[in-house]
């Protein structure tokens, strides 16, 4: 999987997350947003480290 595929996968997850967040209550959405950001950063970090880029 190259960088473009990783980024587009992350964007797809982010868009799905935003749609879900818009359906949730504000308090829930804040928690989900924080969790999602931490998760995306961690997953990207792991992906990059695994590839040794």
| Token duo for residue 37 | 């950001």
Q: What's the mean per-residue pLDDT of the chain?
A: 81
Q: How many residues does the chain have?
A: 53
Per-residue pLDDT reduced to its tens digit, 11-31: 888 888 777 767 767 777 788
How many other CB atoms are found less than 10 A from the CB of residue 9?
Answer: 13
Tell me how far apart the alpha carbons of residues 31 and 36 are, in angstroms, rounded to a whole number.
9
pLDDT > 60? residue 53 = no
Q: Which of 35, 49, 17 is nearest to 9 (CA)?
A: 17
Tell me how far apart the alpha carbons of residues 43 and 38 are, in angstroms, rounded to a whole number.
8
Q: Confidence band (pLDDT; 50, 70, 90) for 42? A: very high
| Token duo for residue 10 | 């992350």
**Residue scoring higher pLDDT (20 or 5):** 5
Which pLDDT score, from 0 to 100, does residue 41 have? Answer: 92
């Amino acid at each position: 999987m190259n960088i473009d595929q990783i980024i587009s996968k992350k964007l797809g997850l982010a868009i799905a997350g935003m749609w879900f967040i818009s359906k949730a209550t504000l308090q829930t959405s804040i928690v989900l947003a924080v969790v999602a950001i931490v998760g995306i950063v961690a997953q990207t970090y792991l992906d990059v480290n695994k590839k040794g880029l």
